């Protein structure tokens, strides 16, 4: 799955190139509030422009459920892209996404010019991976480039369907980077390899834990999922969030870690409160949580314990916050892990989702080796699943034989 052709491996001069980007950016009153995903797509777009390609961009935004929703138009993205590229981006707002006017515009593109299609999810066939819409998208271009890692776990018309009618299908630089870091971290890590898993539910991470336990040297667990593991060992967790139906699974994983020689670390103290509110934290003396209190973050002893475990790591993969990082009184564990990784000489990889949001919000994004752009895609990748949007791309070795 990792050895895919990239834009570097093909001739794009004067060719019409359809590029699937991830421009699913947050909007407030029509204004973009976080342009990280747009900036992430720039290296691939600029490379294609510099090489003289005629660039046709497409993306989804939000969940319009197959209907035209003005508030989810990609018009603001076209405007911002034009500012960043220093030249106008052609944009036609069409509920059909591809119509005669759009086709005419695509055919008229000059080398180095860029156009953006309207939100692909305005068409119901997009999420159904409909053949008709896939053909329409493919008819616009001669080459397909997928650079939307965040949607690579979805078999949609613009990520998978189009590849049946448009070859070559190659990756952009963003997907290349994701495969290089996430793939290498999981399959060929420099050791010791330590994974830090947090977040609310064990059920969200079952397959990730399963997959990583056969690959890591150490596994640190924080967030609410830690309380299920603690209760499974007979430790009192008060009114903390626990998945009762996952207690047996937690015991199995603790046993599996022992048999595999993996050091599985759980919190030895906590920051707690009587209710789910951003109130001053109460520190427990040990791993037990008193009745009537809920754990909302790891405690000071645990922070020290986890920092020590990360000290000698050569590769660290982090997915999921250590506590309710949105609450100022309960972001200490997440902040401490972020600081530790920012100062580390290890390869530090943040596996998307809430942990990516946390390190960005806390100001450590530029001090880490790689922050994955995929939420669900990163998680499925870490579970060892094949991502359809990646699998559909041309293999490098096949092309060179």
Mode of pairing for the β-strands spanning 218-221 and 193-197:
parallel
Kind plus residue range of the DSSP H or E element containing 266: none
Kind plus residue range of the DSSP H or E element containing 294: strand 294-298
Of 348, 333, 361, nearest in space to 265 by CA:
333
37 classed as catalytic? yes
CA distance 212 to 197: 10
Q: Of the residues 222, 299, 320, 353, which is catalytic?
A: 353
353 classed as catalytic? yes
Q: Of the residues 4, 37, 123, 332, which is catalytic?
A: 37
8 classed as catalytic? no
Q: Of the residues 201, 207, 256, 314, which is catalytic?
A: 201
DSSP character for 97? S
How many other β-carbons are positioned within 10 Å of the β-carbon of residue 359? 27
CA distance 126 to 332: 42
In 3-state terms the chain splits into helix, strand, coil percentages (rounded to 5) of 40, 15, 40
3-class SS letters over 153-222? CCCCCCCCHHHHCCCCEEECHHHHHHHHHHHHHHHCCCCCEEEEECCCCHHHHHHHHHHHCCCCCEEEEC
As to burial, measured by CB atoms within 10 angstroms (0-12 exposed, 13-18 middle, 19+ buried), residue 236 is middle
CB distance 149 to 377 below 8 Å? yes
CB distance 320 to 221 below 8 Å? no
385 classed as catalytic? no
DSSP character for 398? H
Mode of pairing for the β-strands spanning 90-91 and 54-58:
unpaired
Active site residues: 37, 201, 353, 376
């Amino acid at each position: 799955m990792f050895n895919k052709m990239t834009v570097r491996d093909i001739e794009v001069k004067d060719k019409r190139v359809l590029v699937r980007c991830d421009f699913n950016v947050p909007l407030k009153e029509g204004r973009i509030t976080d342009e990280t995903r747009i900036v992430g797509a720039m290296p691939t777009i600029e490379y294609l422009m510099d090489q003289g390609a005629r660039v046709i961009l497409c993306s989804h935004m939000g969940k319009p459920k197959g209907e035209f929703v003005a508030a989810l138009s990609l018009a603001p993205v076209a405007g911002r892209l034009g500012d960043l590229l220093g030249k106008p981006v052609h944009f036609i707002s069409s509920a059909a996404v591809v119509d005669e006017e759009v086709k005419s515009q695509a055919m008229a593109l000059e080398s180095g010019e860029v156009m953006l299609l309207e939100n692909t999810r305005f068409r119901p066939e997009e999420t159904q991976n409909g053949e008709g819409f896939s053909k329409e998208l493919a008819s616009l271009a001669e080459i397909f480039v997928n650079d939307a890692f965040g949607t690579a776990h979805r078999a949609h018309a613009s990520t998978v369907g189009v590849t049946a009618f448009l070859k070559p299908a190659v990756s952009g630089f963003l997907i290349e980077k994701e495969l290089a870091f996430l793939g290498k971290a999981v399959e060929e890590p420099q050791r010791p390899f330590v994974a830090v898993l947090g977040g609310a539910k064990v059920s969200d991470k079952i397959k990730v834990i399963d997959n990583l336990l056969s690959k890591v040297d150490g596994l640190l667990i924080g967030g609410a999922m830690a309380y299920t593991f603690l209760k499974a060992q007979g430790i009192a967790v008060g009114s903390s969030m626990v998945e009762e139906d996952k207690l047996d699974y937690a015991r199995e994983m603790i046993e599996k870690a022992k048999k595999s020689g993996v050091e599985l670390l759980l919190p030895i103290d906590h920051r707690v409160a009587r209710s789910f509110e951003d109130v001053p934290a109460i520190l427990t003396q040990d791993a037990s949580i008193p009745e009537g209190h809920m754990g909302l973050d790891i405690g000071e002893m645990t922070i020290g314990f986890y920092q020590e475990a990360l000290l000698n790591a050569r590769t660290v993969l982090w997915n999921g916050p250590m506590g309710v990082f949105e609450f100022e009184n309960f972001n200490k564990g997440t902040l401490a892990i972020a600081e530790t990784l920012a100062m580390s000489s290890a390869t530090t990889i943040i596996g998307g989702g809430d942990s990516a949001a946390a390190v960005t919000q806390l100001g450590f994004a530029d001090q880490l080796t790689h922050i994955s752009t995929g939420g669900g895609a990163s998680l499925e990748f870490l579970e060892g699943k094949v991502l359809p949007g990646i699998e559909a791309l041309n293999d490098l070795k096949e092309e060179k034989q």
